Amino acid sequence: MTLTELGRKFAMAPAVCFVSATGTDHDPYDLVGRVKSKEALESMGAEQFANSVIYNDTAYDVIDGFIGDPLPP
């Protein structure tokens, strides 16, 4: 992806944004509000099913999207 206004290019990778911990009032792993790439989820041992991610014993609601990694100018 290229942002012409900034003159920058980014490599895009699939990612998720953690919205809430399902069925609990607290976030035991401090993931709500964070964005993780699909590669990072795999390395954590987390599993995604549709709009949910299971990490250890906690289910999270997530939003699919992308994360941009800046490329050298």
| Overall domain count for the chain | 1
Which structural domain, as residue segments, surrounds residue 57?
A: 2-70
Give pLDDT tens digits for 8-25: 999 999 999 999 999 877
Asked whether residue 71 carries a pLDDT value surpassing 90, the answer given is yes
pLDDT at site 18: 97
Nearest to 33 by CA among 17, 51, 14: 17
In the block, tokens 């964070």 appear at 34
Distance, CA of 42 to chain centre = 11
Asked whether residue 35 carries a pLDDT value surpassing 80, the answer given is yes
Check residues 6 and 48 and name the one with the higher pLDDT: 48
pLDDT at site 26: 87
Query: Can you tell me the distance from the alpha carbon of 1 to that of 32, in angstroms, rounded to the nearest whole number?
Result: 26
pLDDT at site 25: 77
% of the chain residues with pLDDT over 90: 88
Q: Cβ contacts of residue 55 below 8 Å, gap of 6+?
A: 29, 31, 44, 45, 46
